[in-house]
Structure 1
Amino acid sequence: MRVYPDQLLRNLSPLPQCCLIFGDDPWLCDQSRTALHQIAKQQGFDEKIQLTQETGFSWNELIDQWQAMSLFSSRRIIELTLPTAKPGTEGSAMFQSLMQMDNPDVLLILTGPKLALEQTKSKWFKSLDAKGVYVPCITPEGAQFQRWLDGRINHYSLTLSRDSREMLFALYEGNLLAADQALQLLQLLSPTAPIEPEQLSQYFEDQSRFSVFQLTDAMLSNQQDKAQHILSQLKSEGVAMPIILWSLFKELGVLLQLKTAEVNGQALQGLWSKLRIWDKRKPLYQQAIKRLSLAQVETLLSTSSTLELKLKQQGIEDWTGLSHICLLFDAKAHDALKHIALD
């Protein structure tokens, strides 16, 4: 059963046979494990066994622990870390076997990185999921991050103005651990008084984290301020420009095919699946297609090619040029900026 981190406590009665905590967000993973351990302790699970699937790991150790009598209590937690989330043939068979051996005195917790869709369809995952809960710990974005942030603000009983909330959103989007630490600090500094942006600027600096995919999403949706902010953060984090250009060319290539089809009077319905565009991302392309002309998309491609040549031939990382390309995702910017040459 899939249960999101904020719903976990409501789904631990009765305590399941196993719990799968997988994801790349360290704060959500840690909070989920802590909540699970607290509930388990209340039900007499006092002993903890920690295992890691690493070089030399024997799956027999897992079944030995599953069947062993506890030395200190009647109930025990076995926490197994799967660093690659790939138990292999032997591990898969072991999980399926264990789930046929009900043991109410053992709670199995599996932890590891984000699972791909095909992994959640595997036999080992399905056998565990049928007897427990799956907690995907994926960093929330956009409106979901805002809801998470509002929830944590309420958790710490803080009073923040609308501008302060927006500033925290901009400072910490994508970095839940830093955001929660910041709120804990605010609880110490201003537990009852309203908090204004001026105070925040004295305490904190920008620690938001983004991916190149979030950058191209912001470009496609013409969120200019967000795109420029993400680009600045990627630069400060040392993200390699070739990675950004790769993602940019990928999206522009898709956009060119869609726009060309539209101009030629071709229905786009068949292209969505061909270009592997998920339903969730369709609105981004639809906005861009409606906003930009075919000539403007071609200009974006040629301008991006200019930056790539500067990088490959001259070793120049033109971050100003990337900022310029962000602006060109706004159709109105093409005429205003056409006099600027990037070569």
Structure 2
Amino acid sequence: MELKPDRLAAQLAAEPLRPVYLVAGPEPLLVLEAADAIRAHARANGYGEREVFDADGRDFAWSSLEQSFRAPSLFSARRLLELRLPGGRPGKEGAEVLSGYCAQPPEDVVLLVTAGDWSQKHAGKWSEAIARAGHFVHAPLVRPHELERWLESRLRQRGVRADHGAVQRLAERVQGNLLAAAQEVDKLALLADGAPLDAARMESLVADAARFDVFRLVDAALNGNAAQATRMLAGLRAEGEAVPALMGMVVMELNRVAALARVQARGGNLAAEFRAQRVWDSKQAVYRRALGRHPAPRWERFVAMAGGVDRIAKGRVRLGEEPGDAWLALERLLVAVAEPKAAALLS
């Protein structure tokens, strides 16, 4: 059975835990919260042991997951097994393991499968088997025309009353970033004091979550949003920022993606590298989308070009190099990160 994330809580309350759940989609907040709801419900129902498997590369041993299905528990009679499937595709062996589990799910085991990407091309007999034996929770992107309704629902759940103008103002502030929106709604629940909010009071209470800062600038580029990255860069320039002040974060993030790309290119353990790079689960989808747009050597090229931008900004150009325009060079770099076709601009 397929569920929307906002229907999951009611479904969990209305029936015993199913043996398997698939939570998938490109909206990190919705995937994270749906998975958290299933974990919490499992704990409340006595599933005291939790084991996590990261199937993020060709070297993942599906046999280890299959053996765990039938293995006796050491600490609890009931177990929650989690399979993280970042790309949304288990491959032939994984599909067989998951279909076999769904055909004969063991007692006192719940399997939670999470994926950071999903479309019809990811579906198959294995996901259909999960939908029959349990539930498939799809977490699609919240489109711009859906954002206000999503915010209204979120505010209502947190006990915040806001008129349409206030919701519009909040939507303008967060610019489609659900993680930022969730943080602002939680803050409003504390600050509103039960009083209804109009546009003016909303303006006074919320932080400018969509401010033109370097963190959001890099995220826009990694998410493939070239237009937003360009607009935010122009905003930073208008606010009087200097390119050298931005480059520390830009270089750090590009180095991080380059390191992840090297591990992915050699078929290594990407989940372990995420942990080594201290990338939270909720942020991993951003990096995975970026990794899917460029091969590993190009990320190394981006890092080198970022160093060039920094030198231009500081007036430390090498012999034979033109001084150049640091703002233009940075814009070209960010657009190329966001859009593979624009990579030619760096040549």
Structures share a fold, TM > 0.5? yes
Q: Report if aligned partners of 2:27, 2:141 keep a CA contact under 8 Å in 1.
A: yes
Matches within 5 A, 1:92-107: 92-107=95-110
Counterpart residue type for residue 198 of structure 1: A
**1:114 lines up with 2:117 in the alignment:** yes
Once residues 79 and 329 of structure 2 are traced to their aligned partners in structure 1, the CA distance between those partners, rounded to angstroms, is 58
Counterpart selection for 2:138 from 133, 136, 139: 136
Counterpart selection for 2:170 from 148, 165, 168: 168
Counterpart selection for 1:235 from 230, 233, 239: 230
In structure 2, the gaps of 5 or more residues are 235-327, 333-347
Distance 1:159 1:143, change over 3 A: same
Match of 1:123 in 2: 125
Once residues 170 and 231 of structure 1 are traced to their aligned partners in structure 2, the CA distance between those partners, rounded to angstroms, is 19
User: CA-atom RMSD, angstroms?
Assistant: 2.9
TM-score w.r.t. length of structure 1: 0.59
Match of 1:89 in 2: 92
SS in structure 2 of the partner of residue 168 of structure 1: helix
Q: CA deviation at 1:173?
A: 4.4
Once residues 197 and 45 of structure 1 are traced to their aligned partners in structure 2, the CA distance between those partners, rounded to angstroms, is 45
Match of 1:287 in 2: none
Q: CA deviation at 1:160?
A: 2.1
Match of 2:197 in 1: 195
Q: CA deviation at 1:232?
A: 6.9
Match of 2:47 in 1: 45
Q: CA deviation at 1:317?
A: 7.9
Identity %: 27
Counterpart residue type for residue 182 of structure 1: E
In structure 1, the gaps of 5 or more residues are 213-229, 240-313, 319-343
Distance 1:143 1:49, change over 3 A: same
Match of 1:18 in 2: 20
Which is higher, the Rg of structure 1 or of structure 2? 1
Once residues 18 and 232 of structure 2 are traced to their aligned partners in structure 1, the CA distance between those partners, rounded to angstroms, is 41
SS in structure 2 of the partner of residue 134 of structure 1: strand
Q: Report if aligned partners of 1:139, 1:174 keep a CA contact under 8 Å in 2.
A: no
Q: CA deviation at 1:68?
A: 0.8
SS in structure 2 of the partner of residue 191 of structure 1: coil
Q: CA deviation at 1:114?
A: 2.2
Once residues 207 and 227 of structure 2 are traced to their aligned partners in structure 1, the CA distance between those partners, rounded to angstroms, is 17
Once residues 164 and 132 of structure 2 are traced to their aligned partners in structure 1, the CA distance between those partners, rounded to angstroms, is 43
Q: CA deviation at 1:238?
A: 6.1
Counterpart residue type for residue 7 of structure 1: R
Q: Which moved more, 1:104-113 or 1:194-203?
A: 194-203
SS in structure 2 of the partner of residue 165 of structure 1: helix
Distance 1:191 1:105, change over 3 A: same
Distance 1:187 1:315, change over 3 A: closer
TM-score w.r.t. length of structure 2: 0.59
Match of 1:75 in 2: 78
Q: Report if aligned partners of 1:157, 1:191 keep a CA contact under 8 Å in 2.
A: no
- Which deviations, in whole Å up to 9, do the C-alpha atoms of 1:130-164 show, x marking residues without a partner? 21111111122244322221111111211323321
Distance 1:17 1:317, change over 3 A: closer
Once residues 106 and 116 of structure 1 are traced to their aligned partners in structure 2, the CA distance between those partners, rounded to angstroms, is 28
SS in structure 2 of the partner of residue 85 of structure 1: coil
SS in structure 2 of the partner of residue 51 of structure 1: strand
- Which deviations, in whole Å up to 9, do the C-alpha atoms of 1:239-266 show, x marking residues without a partner? 9xxxxxxxxxxxxxxxxxxxxxxxxxxx
Match of 1:9 in 2: 9
Counterpart residue type for residue 34 of structure 1: D
SS in structure 1 of the partner of residue 187 of structure 2: helix
- Which deviations, in whole Å up to 9, do the C-alpha atoms of 1:34-92 show, x marking residues without a partner? 11112212221111000101343211110111001111111100000012112111111
Aligned residues: 226
Matches within 5 A, 1:180-259: 180-202=182-204, 203-207=206-210, 233-237=228-232
SS in structure 2 of the partner of residue 28 of structure 1: helix
Q: Report if aligned partners of 1:141, 1:173 keep a CA contact under 8 Å in 2.
A: no
SS in structure 1 of the partner of residue 138 of structure 2: strand
